[in-house]
Amino acid sequence: MSRIGKKAVDLPSGVTATLSGQQIEVKGPKGVLSFKATDDVTIAIEDNVVTVKPRGMSKRARQQWGMSRTRIANCVTGVTEGFKKELEISGVGYRAKMNGNVLNMTLGYSHDVNFDVPAGITVTAPKVTEIIVEGIDAQQVGEVAANIRAWRKPEPFKGKGIRYKGEYIFRKEGKKK
């Protein structure tokens, strides 16, 4: 039995969900998100509560049960609160700033790195060493943050690079003479 799948998803006030076949659409104050579930699960909406149940007890049905419930819960959270990832930049001369819809980063390369921000995502740089990625789609926010981090991952000797806020970097000892 899926511990996550058994839980029902409550719809807060101001949020509506409509079901058509296996497609669920969630509307809220921040926007609209939809999720198409596989045929292995059954979705039901009753009294502002969304429930997900597996069709049978096959391994795939049980896997899709918890995943589908989590994706629906992420849609509800996204249209009410939204998602946010914070990144920190550390290193001498490393910095970031926003130019319109382009994130301009100086990361120790011979040239500046320009990252085009996709639609539906808001990127801000309140400080030159801080980047905040916000949006309503959890998967897209995480992917954009990972793509920004991939330009200069933190290295283990000095810790220079782009890291998630609160991320621990295992430090290595340098060469000894």
- Mark the ranges of the chain whose per-residue pLDDT is less than 70: 1
Domain positions in the chain are 3-80, 83-164
C-beta of residue 68 within 8 angstroms of C-beta of residue 121: no
9-22 tens-digit pLDDT? 999 999 999 999 99
CATH superfamily, domain 83-164, is Ribosomal protein L6 (3.90.930.12)
**Residue 93 CA, distance from chain mean position:** 28
What would the CATH number be for the domain defined by 3-80? 3.90.930.12
144-169 tens-digit pLDDT? 999 999 999 999 999 999 999 999 99
